[in-house]
Amino acid sequence: MKILIIEDEHKIANSIKKGLEQESYVVDVAYNGADGYDLAVSENYDVIVLDLMLPDMDGIEICRKLRAENIHIPILVLTAKGQLEDKVAGLNSGADDYLVKPFAFIELLARIKALARRPKNSLGTILTSGDLSLDTVTYQVKRDGKEIRLSKQEYALLEYLLRHANKILNKEQIISNIWDYDADILPNTVEVYIGYLRNKIDEPFPKSSKLIHTIRGFGYKIGGVK
Ligand code: CA
């Protein structure tokens, strides 16, 4: 198990590192956001422990950038006491869990273990629904053996739907998980992108059953029978 700690307070970072090493984890530490981001994209970690207030690049931005690049390493966010907004922002930006400072090391260890244990199908590299597959490492999307080319946004939408296959996702969930905070979202943006996806993954395969379903008044889902 390899853990990345991104935390600018040396004392906290080093004590977490020491504790985790005693538990036989391999631990890298970055003391600023930019170094942390560089390590996160270039090395393979099982879990990232991420402070929010960081020099160079803050934790929220790191989270968003990693998720935008389809890096799905579980992220545990550290946030100062009482900063509820930070917590919400952290989770919205793609973090998996959070811990309020100051925390007991045993609590941190339990959270890291829980994240590392997460079912592999939520972290795996190939996501499927029916005869459609999406490889999160190579970004290859295929249906019935044929490769489908998607734009970055279409890909992100399809990946999000597949990670929650057979579940109804509403527009707000889709927007907060697929688009940046500062993106220009129109009232019909989600419909438009669902339409683009249908044109690429359902329309060209008339013999296969439709994968994307509209659940009127609720949202959308992929897979299963409507
Ligand atoms: Ca900090």
Give 138-205 as a DSSP string: T--EEETTEEE---HHHHHHHHHHHHTTTS-B-HHHHHHHHS-TTS---TTHHHHHHHHHHHHHTTT-
Query: How far is 132 from 59, CA to CA, in rounded Å?
Result: 34
CA of 203 from ligand 1 middle (Å) equals 49
Query: Phi and psi dihedrals of 158, rounded to 5?
Result: -65, -40
CA of 68 from ligand 1 middle (Å) equals 23
Query: How far is 223 from 205, CA to CA, in rounded Å?
Result: 15
CA of 179 from ligand 1 middle (Å) equals 26
Output the pLDDT for position 121.
44
pTM: 0.55
CA of 53 from ligand 1 middle (Å) equals 4
CA of 118 from ligand 1 middle (Å) equals 27
Running along the chain, 226 residues long, what does each successive block of 10 average in pLDDT? 94 96 90 96 92 93 90 89 72 85 93 80 70 84 94 90 91 84 82 97 94 94 75
Residue listed under structure tokens 């900063």: 83
